[in-house]
Structures are given as C-alpha cells and as structure tokens.
C-alpha cells in the first residue's frame, strides 16, 4: 500500500518525532523561563526584606545621648541635628530613622555648605556626589528597622580642605548638606542618602532640622 507521492512510514515517523521534540523543547523553555522569573521574584523579595531606607527621625522621637572619640558628649533630640564648634573642633550629628525592613549600616559620609537659594550650586547639589569624595566612618553605625539611630562625625584639623567652609556655615547658621553611604548588614544594597541640616527659629530659640531630600542607588539601576 502506498501512502501518497512516495512518502513512507519512515518519513512520517521521523516527522512525528521531530514534532514531539519541538513541543518538548517549547515546554522546557517555558518551564525554565517561569522558574527563572520565580527565582528573580524570590531574590527581589529577599533583598526587600534586608533593605534599609533612612530618613530624618520624627520630632516626637526620644532624644539620644551620643559620644565622640575625644570624649565630647552631645544630646540629639528627635528630628534634629547637632552642629557644634568646641575648641575649634567641628562636631556634626543627625537623628535618623530607618523606615525600611532591614538593618541599616552607615559606611561613609561627606558634608558641604548648604547652597543659597538662587545659587548656581543648587542644581549641582542635586547631582550624585562622586564616591571618592566620601570619608569612611571610624566605626560602623547601625540603625534598626522601624527604629531610630544616629549619624555622627567630626573634623578637628583646621588644615582639612572642608574645615573652613563648614566652620563658616556653622558659625553663620546657614546649614549644610550631608551625604551618607549606607547599606544592609550583609554589605549590599548600597545607597547614598542626601540630607539637609537647616536652621529653624522657634519659640525656644534656633534649632537644626534634618531631613532627607534624595536617594541614589549604587548596587542596582537608579530610576534617575
């Protein structure tokens, strides 16, 4: 019996096998792609669970008593910062809150005078600062999730290139920018948070407010 135009059972069997193999390959590809998507989703959820997000703390948060390495002490009320000049030493601190779900670890910092309104430096102040301009923290500072912590630093050398500019801002009460590099407790998800320390005149006298104005991602794509 002849099937049609010289096509035999062997040819039909080969075509059927090829078709089955193609269907299996398509199913395998779809399964692998689905598994990869699930793995990426699980990894993203895991990272979100470790991710800290730092903001200025709230005014109703409790004060914190903090100490610098030279035994200088300061009191840091909730929502505020500390800028002090004592014996020509510049002391800086901020009360901060971690609104993320992971432990925050502060690694390094930089500070610069606050740009005046209308200043051409104001636009530049909204650009991500170069990493080489940061100073390492002498010790890691930890901020628990859903709780408050603090950042602190000092400049004691009058020959430091930032000393004169920051001293002028403190003495004339103009405020400063503070940039912090922080990440999760495993050393990942590094972020730059830009904070503003600005003077506020109230009934009890002038105080220094602190609040965050921008974040930049370092270890993952940034939306800007």
Backbone angles phi, psi at 47, to 5 degrees: -65, -40
* Pair (203, 95) in one structural domain: yes
Read off the pLDDT band of 219 (50, 70, 90): confident
Round to whole Å and give the CA distance between 25 and 32.
10
pLDDT above 70 as % of the chain: 74
**Same-domain status, 28 and 58:** no
Task: Looking at the structure, tell me whether residues 23 and 87 fall in a common domain.
Answer: no
Q: How many domains does the chain have?
A: 2
pLDDT at 111: 97
Say whether both 70 and 152 belong to one domain.
yes
The residue with tokens 């690694």 is 107
Quick check: is 17 in a domain?
yes
Other CB atoms closer than 10 Å to residue 192's CB: what's the count?
A: 20
pLDDT of 157: 96
Q: Is residue 207 part of a domain?
A: yes
Summary mean pLDDT of the chain: 84
| For range 60-85, the mean pLDDT | 95
Regarding whether 87 and 163 lie in a shared domain, the answer is yes
Residue 25 lies in a domain: yes
């Amino acid at each position: 019996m002849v099937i049609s135009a010289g096509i035999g059972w062997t040819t039909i069997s080969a075509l059927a096998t090829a078709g089955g193999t193609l269907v299996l390959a398509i199913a395998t590809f779809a399964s692998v792609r689905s598994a990869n998507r699930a793995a990426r989703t699980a990894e993203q959820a895991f990272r979100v669970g470790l991710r800290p997000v730092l903001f200025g703390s709230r005014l109703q948060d409790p004060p914190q008593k903090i100490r610098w390495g030279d035994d200088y002490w300061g009191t840091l009320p909730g929502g505020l910062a500390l800028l002090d000049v004592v014996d020509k030493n510049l002391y800086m601190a901020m009360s901060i809150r971690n609104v993320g779900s992971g432990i925050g670890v502060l690694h390094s910092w930089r500070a610069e005078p606050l740009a005046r309104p209308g200043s051409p430096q104001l636009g530049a102040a909204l650009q991500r600062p170069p990493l080489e301009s940061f100073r390492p923290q002498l010790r890691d500072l930890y901020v628990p999730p859903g709780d408050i912590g603090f950042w602190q630093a000092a400049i004691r050398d009058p020959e430091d290139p930032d000393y004169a500019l920051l001293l002028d801002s403190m003495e004339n009460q103009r405020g400063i920018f503070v940039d912090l590099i922080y990440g999760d407790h495993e050393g990942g998800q590094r972020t730059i948070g830009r904070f503003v320390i600005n003077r506020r005149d109230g009934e009890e006298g002038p105080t220094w407010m602190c609040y965050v104005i921008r974040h930049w991602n370092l270890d993952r794509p940034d939306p800007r």
